Amino acid sequence: MKKPLKLGIAGLGTVGSSTARIVTSQAEELTLRAGRPMQLTAVCTRSRTSNKDRGIDLSGYTWFDDPVALATSDEIDVFVELIGGDGGPAYASVLAALKAGKHVVTANKALIAAHGNELALAAEAAGVSLVFEAAVAGGIPIIKALREGMAGNSVSRVYGIMNGTCNYILTRMENEGLDFETCLKQAQELGYAEADPAFDIEGNDTAHKLAILTSLAFGTRIESSSIYMEGITSITSADIDAADELGYRIKLLGVSVKTDTGIEQRVHPTMVPKDANIAQISGVTNAVVIDGDAVGSIMLSGPGAGGDATASAVVADIVDIARDLSLPVFGRPAATLAPYVRSKMRTHAGGYYIRLSVLDRPGAFAAIAKRMGDEGISLESIVQKRRVGSDAESGNEPGPATVMLITHETTEKAIRAALDAINADGHIAAQPQMIRIER
């Protein structure tokens, strides 16, 4: 049997501790599967506090205070980076490990989204592996599916629910009729959302993951800064209710589509038909759909976060290295990745949901319909809610009417132009809400 594959783990938080525990507690089974023993030899963490319960006794391993020192140590063959962050010690240690001829396993989506092109070139120049299954959708093997399982397909679209915090909030809003702020607070209390939740609810987390999937799906260099991004903070109970009445659910999707003019990457709230597979994904679960020419459409779903689920993906990457399975980082040599060409969002075609708060004045509805018609937009359905403050006995003036529209397929450019004109006409009391429909 081959000599043991020596591992060094930097970062002993939830995922790092779970990874260490799996590697040590399942050593015999992993050896049988990989054909080679895997041996944890060294660790690195900011705190060596002895009374911190990590679920595993780490006293017998070499401890490093500096992750770069661990990354370049002769004691390891594989550097497992679980520190986090797109720069700082994570970036420095991963780059050092690759240049030192060490294989690298990471769960760091921010690092790969920011520096994936550079790191891939460094890994392939050194003849070592750089693998990151755990960086996207936790325990779901979506990287392996795109890089290996879909190798015989030309992919046209990849999209999915990639942030459990947002999906949890939207699910609670729908199922229990709660508002956004209440659901967010409860998500924080349960540990699903951070004290500062902006990275999740504004779409940044999903964007990092989408950038990685785009490179794998379409053979382009990673370009996360070009992703169109909207979060879920503008979603109201009225939108959730309207979606339900119209046969849809609202999900925060990351979508990457190959078009005639380039690659369109976008993260935003989306209405999906209730009978769509992805509409059934609730709570903190993640799901990713891949559309390929040979296999059609497939969906993978499962836990997108959590110590054990993410560690499962980390260990799977370690096993691949032990098996001597060495593949190009993004499924093809890094030097051959095509430059990313952005497809303009305003050319995006599809259906749209629009919510308007229409003032009670003569000609308002006619003016709105005209603005839509001027841009060639036809409507599939219209729902008008009871006016606020319209009780004649109260003596109040009629308040704005909430009007919800579903359009037939049109372009982003046409929708934006119509809404700008409607807003300028002064017939609405607030900024219009627009949500794209993905079928």
Q: Are residues 89 and 172 in the same domain?
A: no
The answer to whether residue 179 sits within a structural domain is yes
CATH of the domain at 165: 3.30.360.10
Note the pLDDT of residue 393. Answer: 44
Catalytic status, residue 6: no
The answer to whether residue 158 sits within a structural domain is yes
| Beta-strand relationship, 78-81 and 103-106 | parallel
Q: Are residues 113 and 166 in the same domain?
A: no
Q: Are residues 236 and 367 in the same domain?
A: no
Note the pLDDT of residue 56. Answer: 78
The answer to whether residue 212 sits within a structural domain is yes
Phi, psi dihedral angles at 383 (to 5 degrees)? -125, 125
The answer to whether residue 220 sits within a structural domain is yes
CATH of the domain at 395: 3.30.70.260
Q: Are residues 10 and 31 in the same domain?
A: yes
Q: Are residues 271 and 412 in the same domain?
A: no
Q: Among 135, 162, 185, which residue terminates a domain?
A: 135
Note the pLDDT of residue 398. Answer: 67
Return the half-sphere exposure (C-beta side, CA atoms, 13 A cut-off) of residue 21. 17
Bridge partners (DSSP) listed for residue 362: none
Note the pLDDT of residue 162. Answer: 97
Phi, psi dihedral angles at 435 (to 5 degrees)? -130, 130
pTM attached to this predicted model: 0.92
Note the pLDDT of residue 397. Answer: 58
Q: Residue 80: in which H helix or E strand, if any?
A: strand 78-81
Note the pLDDT of residue 385. Answer: 74
The answer to whether residue 295 sits within a structural domain is yes
Q: How far apart are CA 286 and CA 209, in angstroms?
A: 12
CATH of the domain at 93: 3.40.50.720
Q: Which position among 144, 209, 251, 258 bears the catalytic label?
A: 209
Quote the tokens at residue 111. Answer: 């690092």
Note the pLDDT of residue 51. Answer: 54
Q: Are residues 210 and 170 in the same domain?
A: yes
Q: How far apart are CA 365 and CA 406, in angstroms?
A: 15
Amino acid at the residue 288: V
Amino acid at the residue 362: P
Q: How far apart are CA 207 and CA 421, in angstroms?
A: 30
Amino acid at the residue 290: I
Q: State the residue range of the domain holding 253.
A: 147-303
The answer to whether residue 340 sits within a structural domain is no
Quote the tokens at residue 331. Answer: 């499924």
The answer to whether residue 337 sits within a structural domain is no
Note the pLDDT of residue 205. Answer: 96
Q: How far apart are CA 37 and CA 2, in angstroms?
A: 8
Q: Are residues 123 and 161 in the same domain?
A: no
Q: How far apart are CA 7 and CA 19, in angstroms?
A: 11
Eight-state DSSP code of residue 403: E
Note the pLDDT of residue 40. Answer: 97
Q: Which parts of the chain sit beneath pLDDT 50?
A: 50, 390-393
Q: Among 239, 274, 303, which residue terminates a domain?
A: 303
Note the pLDDT of residue 392. Answer: 41
Are residues 201 and 233 in contact, defined by beta-carbon separation less than 8 angstroms? yes
Q: Are residues 41 and 158 in the same domain?
A: no
From residue 99, alpha-carbon distances to 81, 102, 431 in Å are 15, 7, 52
Q: Are residues 130 and 68 in the same domain?
A: yes
Q: Are residues 153 and 184 in the same domain?
A: yes
Question: What total number of domains does the chain contain?
Answer: 3
How do residues 338-389 score in pLDDT, each as one tens digit? 999 988 766 678 899 999 999 988 889 899 999 999 999 999 988 887 655 5
What interhelical angle do 307-322 and 14-25 show, nearest 10? 50
Q: Among 109, 135, 161, which residue terminates a domain?
A: 135
The answer to whether residue 314 sits within a structural domain is no
Q: How many helices (H) and strands (E) does the chain have?
A: 14, 17
| Beta-strand relationship, 5-10 and 78-81 | parallel
Q: Are residues 13 and 46 in the same domain?
A: yes
Q: Are residues 278 and 376 in the same domain?
A: no
